[in-house]
Amino acid sequence: MRFDTVIIGGGLSGLVCGIRLQKSGKNCAIISAGQSAMHFSSGTFDLLGRMPDGSVVENPLEAIDRLDAGHPYSIIGKEKVARYATEAPDFLAGCGITVKGDAQSNSWRITPTGERKPAWLTLGDFTPLTSKNEKIGTKALIVNILGYLDFNTKFLADSFEKQGTVCRIASIRLEEMERLRKNPSEMRSTNIARVMDRDNIWEKAASQVKEMIKDEDVVVLPAVFGLKNAETVETMRKAIGIKTVFVATMPPSVPGIRTQMTLKAEFERAGGRFFIGDSVIEADFNEDNTVKSVATYNFGDIRVYADDFVLATGSFFSKGLIATPEKIYEPVFGIDLNYEEKRDGWFDRNFWNRQNYISFGAKVSEKLNTYVDGRPVENLYAIGSLLGGSNTLYEGCGGGVAIISALAAADEILHK
């Protein structure tokens, strides 16, 4: 089997890279093992929320100059980062995903526990805040779905009340949800969203919420609507009739899964082949140290050939990187990694502190080419959270690194 480009990993970075390449005329395949970080998404793509020293970033583009030379943004270069960050909302809109946000000024998102964190692009489901302390309204009606445990109304009320919003908590009960409620482990966001989508049950939910409103000026709901179609969320807002703020739930993330499915559909609509549930297990190299082909579990003896390969397998979370007590390695190509040799430096025993291992990852050139045993591999690119040099969780830059490195690698391949 032969393609122009084979992308390994179908999360945010692999899909963005594949869509850009496929729409530009390359014949691409994405081979992807399983779920991606998008299934756990907060509903925002983060460009840069905090500097490595912990200081809060207001203007991500302006802050890039102050990052270490090994950070993916420094490697790609400020000018390109600014260009791709500015173009990202239109790129996503072209895939059918509506986002709000500005690379020169972070907004704020509300986390499932009511905390507020800097955000770059916010999915249309959510309401970005302009400042950390913005009041969502004067009086809020926080509504849960009876029996749903992954939406903590009390935490949210406590946090909104700190900003001076008076909160009332209520629940809606829907007959159609009763079968799920018999087993509390079935009351998960995606199952609820599926029931809501079926026969437009969400209309009943919106109408119950509307009847509950007394003198409140804002309704707060869990983001468990519109698994298949983002328009459901907008239609619900209209049906409820007052400001309605959807808040991210504990995983799985309904808006994140919808975004993943939308990007996959866009890649396939453009003519790309997406092989889901398959893993790339090994590769062979040409004499000039370029990659010749890869093998996967499902294709067995049939090897997959391409001119270029993009490694978008994520970090430890997605098994793009593997840690043993002795070492950290990348399992498909054995590419060179940047990481601390001494295990003591991998993590901080305090779970809440910055964890060094998150910043370990692929060593790349300014073109995002990888290295094996110190030698560059000119047709193998690494993108997304597999890249070393950024602490995506601590710095709040995961979505930005994924989208920007994906567009940068795609352009390198297109302009070779």
Ligand X SMILES: Cc1cc2nc3c(=O)[nH]c(=O)nc-3n(C[C@H](O)[C@H](O)[C@H](O)COP(=O)(O)OP(=O)(O)OC[C@H]3O[C@@H](n4cnc5c(N)ncnc54)[C@H](O)[C@@H]3O)c2cc1C
Residues that bind ligand X (CB under 6 A): 8-14, 31-34, 36-38, 40-42, 44-46, 279-280, 312-314, 317-320, 332, 384-385, 392, 398-399, 402
Nearer to ligand X, 8 or 221 (CB): 8
CA proximity to 75, closest of 402, 329, 376, 364: 364
| 8 Å CB contact between 381 and 370 | yes
Angle, in degrees to the nearest 10, between helices 231-240 and 201-212: 30
Q: Shortest Cβ distance from residue 208 to ligand X (Å)?
A: 29
Nearer to ligand X, 80 or 181 (CB): 80
Q: Shortest Cβ distance from residue 304 to ligand X (Å)?
A: 11
Q: Shortest Cβ distance from residue 91 to ligand X (Å)?
A: 15
Nearer to ligand X, 66 or 319 (CB): 319
Q: What would the two tokens of residue 298 be?
A: 């499902």
| Interatomic CA distance for residues 72 and 77, integer angstroms | 8
Nearer to ligand X, 92 or 312 (CB): 312
Nearer to ligand X, 47 or 187 (CB): 47
Q: Shortest Cβ distance from residue 160 to ligand X (Å)?
A: 21
84-88 contact pairs (CB < 8 A, 24+): 84/403, 84/404, 84/407, 84/408, 85/47, 85/60, 85/61, 85/120, 85/400, 85/403, 85/404, 87/407, 88/45, 88/121, 88/403, 88/404, 88/407
| Interatomic CA distance for residues 86 and 368, integer angstroms | 20
H or E element that contains 80: helix 78-94
DSSP 8-class letter at 57: P
Q: Shortest Cβ distance from residue 120 to ligand X (Å)?
A: 7
CA proximity to 378, closest of 243, 288, 262: 288
**In degrees to the nearest 10, what's the CA dihedral of 292, 295, 300, 306?**
-50
Nearer to ligand X, 38 or 141 (CB): 38
Nearer to ligand X, 40 or 285 (CB): 40
| Interatomic CA distance for residues 13 and 390, integer angstroms | 15
Q: Shortest Cβ distance from residue 8 to ligand X (Å)?
A: 5
Q: Shortest Cβ distance from residue 128 to ligand X (Å)?
A: 13
306 DSSP β-pair partners: 3
Nearer to ligand X, 127 or 392 (CB): 392
Q: Shortest Cβ distance from residue 125 to ligand X (Å)?
A: 13
Lateral strand order in the sheet of 99-100: 44-45, 121-123, 99-100
